[in-house]
Amino acid sequence: MPKAIFKGMLSFGLVNIPIALYNVAEPKLLAFRLLHKKCKKPIKLKKYCEYCGVELKKQDIVHGIKIGKDKYIEFSEEQIKALKPKGKADIEIVLFTDAIEIDDIYFDKAYYMLPQRPGEKAYWLFYEILKLTGRIGIVKFIFHEKEYLGFIKAYKQGLLLRILHYAYKIRKIGKLIAEKPKIKFSNQELNLARELVNKLYKEKFNIEQFRDEFSKKIEEILMKKLKIEVKIEKEKKKKKEKKTLIELLKKSVKS
């Protein structure tokens, strides 16, 4: 069983359900690190002020928000700490609505929400009622000193928590495209485009047939390199053992 990233209570009226959150996706196993070519050890990126031309230590660095060209308002650690939201590790349901009310553009990360105890009756009652009604529960909670908005839905044999972007953080498409250009298409163009779509159309989509090809190739090369490394290490060990045996025999002859 993977480790829960969050444990707390799902607050549903006067009912508190002990729940735990788990990552939906496995963490990436492969990640490139920057190494020193000579010694093959990871490098550290130093903090440097280009204006002063000096390397900085932790005590030399403060937080700031840009308000104009080369102008910043400074915030101390104490000020930031005082402004951060505080609260219990509870996920509070603030209202229920229909899933169709949430536009896909607001969707962020997803987590499995499971009961801390498998036989938690209140959890399964909540799951059952969401499944029967097709409704979702809008929730708010604090995690790692940040306030989150999300919704809970019945998903297969458990609950799914979907984090939502706040509306004020969403970039409006109208600011990128003022309006749809007025372009006329001939019947031939539309028919050919429709024909292409139909040619590639599949009624059922199987996501399992897709994979990150870059990661797959990296894994294959990595496995080959590991086999070579193991082979080299075994040869080195054999040579060392052979050398050690000869040295012992020589010492025995001399003694």
Burial of 162 (0-12, 13-18, 19+ CB in 10 A): buried
- Better-predicted residue by pLDDT, 131 or 32: 131
CB 125: neighbour CB atoms within 10 A?
Answer: 13
The pair of structure tokens assigned to 178 is: 């003022």
- Better-predicted residue by pLDDT, 145 or 29: 145
Above 80 in pLDDT, residue 93? yes
Above 80 in pLDDT, residue 89? no
The whole-angstrom distance between residue 202's C-alpha and the CA centroid of its chain comes to 29
Above 80 in pLDDT, residue 105? yes
3-state secondary structure of 237: helix
Mean pLDDT confidence for 54-78: 87
Question: Model's pTM, two decimal places?
Answer: 0.71
Closest CA to 152 of 26, 21, 27: 21
Distance CA 170, CA 107 (A): 11
* Overall size of the chain counted in residues: 255
Q: Which CATH class is domain 6-28+85-169?
A: mainly beta
Name the percent of the chain in helix, strand, coil, to the closest 5. Answer: 35, 30, 35
Above 80 in pLDDT, residue 181? yes
Residue ranges per structural domain of the chain: 6-28+85-169
Mean pLDDT confidence for 181-201: 92
Residue 97 φ then ψ, to 5°: -155, -175
User: What's the chain's average pLDDT?
Assistant: 86
Closest CA to 112 of 60, 149, 163: 163
Mean pLDDT confidence for 224-232: 75
The whole-angstrom distance between residue 193's C-alpha and the CA centroid of its chain comes to 36
